[in-house]
Amino acid sequence: MNENRITHLEKQWAVFKYEVLEKDPATYQKIRTLLKNKTDPDESMFLELIQHAKQQPIHKGHQQTALEHVWGYFKRICTPQEKTKFENELRLWLNNDIELIEIKQSLYSLALKYQVTYLLESSYFDQVKF
């Protein structure tokens, strides 16, 4: 496989990474392992794994893991108020007092504010982009 194909797969992975993590951390790890093969990664397996992850049922613990990974992009650059807001929203969501989309909207707003292109180009925020 040539370098352009590997680059293509890695770009696709950047788009789906947090969506996969949110649904199925085990598949997330399988894809990471698959992409370590820089000479001939299995593209069809890559696509199958992404589809498999997308079809998994919702699991709050997996969603929390993804939220915390995404939050990691902001925790060193955000204001104290933004940190407090995230922590409060996370607590409210864990207690079923707000919906997941509300936290994602806040994280998306931070991605816009801080111009985190990697996240803005991700499918993770597809349902909250406005």
77 and 49 part of one domain: no
Q: Is the pLDDT reported for residue 6 higher than 90? A: no
User: DSSP 3-state assignment of 21?
Assistant: helix
Structural domains counted in the chain: 2
Tell whether 50 and 66 lie within a shared domain. no
pTM, rounded to two decimals: 0.91
DSSP 8-state secondary structure symbol assigned to residue 77: T
35 and 83 in a single domain? The answer is: no
What's residue 2's pLDDT? Answer: 59
Per residue in 34-76, pLDDT (tens digit) is 999 888 889 999 999 999 999 999 999 999 999 999 999 999 9
Note the pLDDT tens digit of each residue in 92-120: 999 999 999 999 999 999 999 999 999 99
Residue 1 in this model has a pLDDT that exceeds 60 = no
Judge whether 35 and 46 are in contact, CB under 8 Å. yes
Both tokens assigned to 7: 């680059």
Q: Could you tell me if 65 and 99 lie in one domain?
A: yes
pLDDT above 60: residue 130:
no
> Does any domain span residue 130?
no
Residues 116, 77, single domain; the answer is: yes
Q: What is the CA radius of gyration of the chain?
A: 16
Backbone angles phi, psi at 76, to 5 degrees: -100, -10
Q: What is the DSSP letter of 20?
A: H
Dig out the tokens for 41 from the structure.
């990664």
Residue 39 CA, chain-centre distance (Å), reads 26
Collapse the DSSP code of 23 into the 3-class scheme (helix H, G, I; strand E, B; otherwise coil) and give the result. Answer: helix
Q: Rounded distance, CA 113 to CA 57, Å?
A: 32
Range of the domain at 38: 3-54
Q: Are 111 and 64 part of one and the same domain?
A: yes
Residues 50 and 100 in one domain: no
Distances from the Cα of 31 to the Cα of 17, 49, 69, 127, angstroms: 9, 7, 17, 23
